[in-house]
Chain A
Amino acid sequence: MNGKVYIIGAGATKIGEHWDKSLRDLAVEALFAAVKDASIDKRDVEALYVSNMMSGELQGQEHLGALIATWAGIPGVAACKVEGACACGGVAIHQAYLAVASGLYDCVAVVGVEKMTDVIPSDVTAALATAEDQDYVVFTGTSFVGLNALIYRFYLEKYRVKQEDIARFAVHCHKMAVSNPYAQFRRPVSLEDVMSSPVIADPIRLLECAPVGDGAAALILCNERFLKENPRDDLIEISGTAVATDIVSMHERRDPLAASALRRALDIAMEKAGIETKEIDVLEVHDAFTILGILPLELMGYAPPGEGWRLVAEGQVEPGGKIPTNTMGGLKARGHPVGGTGVYQVLDIVTQLRGKAGSNQVEDAEIGLAQNFGGVASTVAVNILKRVR
């Protein structure tokens, strides 16, 4: 597969508590926005990949491929739901990439959607926990937050870092989200706010967690053949893509902090893209919890192990810093409508590469990398984007 794959359209809904919008409303709104952004006819879309994790649990609705295609007015397209827990967005982009790169399709759409506010909080907690082994892990009564709390404690114990230093990642994300029109929280928080928020699962505090919200984001992908007929100048190429898995239950991993799926996905995707870490201009990390914002910075070599927090404290993750990260607010403040998240991450990078990030613009951003985690990094999707001019 040598065909190049480009992103020519991106669109999304604002993330939040959309009491008046259903899952299908959100998905269709985002898809139409992406189609409009791509300046194509929706009938040009040959295949639709709907990334979603919990519609079965939260809406009692599966078969999102045909459902969203129908409601978008494009029945007939190849369509399916892509699931990989919270990584489903990144995985769906990976699948869409493969479909286009293979030459089977010239133009496909990815729409990531999650409607989380249809049920009571304990049902959302239960649904999120389905990312783990239901029979032997969720059975214990752990929540998904609880499992990440274990990672957090492993980290704090190993590196003797203060929780405040990790929690500061949330402050960074809120600061970045202020100017993002799609963000769920467009307001700053202080470190004191974060550290005085209630404990959800020790040691994780409320304001260290990505919020529950509704939202959808969509992308239009195409190949060069399609571009010849629909020429445009602001091209973004998916220059690398990879998906990797780890032992699904974190407690069984030899080193729970190794994040081996992330390591593997990064190696494959970066080799494909032919880039080195230092070439990345803008980074999206899967900060469902603050600790998950810090760990990848260390794993990628931006900071020594145990010192990722310094990058945040020193502002190195902001535009103009060493590695601008989650410049549109990340999961923490832009929001984390699960099935949408991996797509929002790529959309945020597209915004940067197009130079449309406003006050958060990373100067002359050319290469961006998004990493999307499913489960406790049991599935990791990495997508690398490159501006083509």
Chain B
Amino acid sequence: MVWAESVPRVWRERVKKYRLLGGKCLKCGSVVYPYRPACPYCGHEELQPLELSRRGRVINFTIIRHPPTGFVGKEPYVVAIVELEDGARVLAQLTDVKPEDVKIGLEVEAVFRKYREQASNGVIEYGIKFRPV
């Protein structure tokens, strides 16, 4: 997959991915991840950049048992919707937890981990995952 091996793309998104850079809508107050130019809820075009809270709770999750290319060999792993303390909802992997121990409501905190390697000689993509508190 050609797009999966883009280096500029990884580089461009690094700050948002490394530091959970989101935005707070100055009109409706919604907090979104990642940062973007327009609020998805009210359309307002002023969002204040914000490093989001690193704590939250799992509001839903699934266990990926048949992963897409790039994640093969890592299964089973948990992908969850985490609602951060500031209200933003982030889709992220959970780590350092057995899939069978994950429950809705689980309190989690952000950690910095590897997500994907662009082949064994390509760049490594890092980002925020969550682990149980």
Binding site for B on A (CB under 8 A): 57, 120-123, 125-127, 129, 134-143, 145-147, 149-150, 153-154, 157, 198-204, 247, 249, 251-252, 254
Contact = CB atoms under 8 A, between A and B. Distances in A.
Nearest to B40: A247
Interface in B9-53: 9, 13, 16-17, 32-34, 40-41
A126 B1 contact: yes
Interface of B: 1, 3-4, 9, 13, 16-17, 32-34, 40-41, 60-72, 74, 77, 79, 81, 89-93, 99, 104, 115-116, 125, 127
Given A122-B66, A140-B79, A141-B115, 16 more contacts: A120-B69, A123-B1, A126-B68, A140-B92, A140-B93, A141-B64, A141-B67, A141-B77, A141-B79, A142-B64, A143-B67, A150-B61, A154-B60, A201-B64, A201-B66, A202-B65
A203 to B, nearest CB: 8
A154 to B, nearest CB: 6
A252 B84 CA distance: 12
A57 B74 CA distance: 23
A199 B65 contact: yes
A123 B69 contact: yes
B9 A136 contact: no
Nearest to B66: A200
A147 B91 CA distance: 10
A140 B33 CA distance: 14
A145 B77 contact: no
A254 B1 contact: no
Contacts of A134: 3
Contacts of B70: 126, 141
A200 B65 contact: yes
Contacts of B66: 121-122, 125, 143, 145, 200-201
